[in-house]
């Protein structure tokens, strides 16, 4: 089972919206790590 499918296996998943680089990359890293440690189901990277 993929990680995405697994995250939705109970019907819902917590996927927060985090703006990368706001206010800076060091803070973004702390926010992402804290989200992962506190129950975020998915963290996705989107590149344009």
Q: Give the structural domain span for 42.
A: 19-48
For range 6-25, the mean pLDDT? 90
Model confidence at 48: pLDDT above 50 = no
Helices (H) and strands (E) counted in the chain, each on its own, are 2, 0
Matching residue, tokens 């990359």:
25
Matching residue, tokens 């089972």:
1
Report the domain count for the chain.
Answer: 1
Q: Is 44 helix (H, G, I), strand (E, B) or coil?
A: coil
pTM tops 0.85, yes or no: no
Q: Which of 33, 42, 37, 32 is nearest to 9 (CA)?
A: 42
Per residue in 23-42, pLDDT tens? 999 999 999 999 999 999 99
Residue 25 in domain: yes
Q: What is the pLDDT of residue 34?
A: 97
Residue 36 in domain: yes
Model confidence at 15: pLDDT above 80 = yes
Residue 32 in domain: yes
Residue 45 in domain: yes
């Amino acid at each position: 089972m993929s990680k995405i499918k697994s995250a939705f296996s109970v019907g819902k998943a917590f996927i927060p919206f985090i703006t990368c680089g706001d206010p800076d990359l060091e803070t973004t890293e702390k926010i992402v790590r804290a989200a992962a440690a506190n129950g975020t189901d998915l963290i996705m990277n989107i590149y344009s």
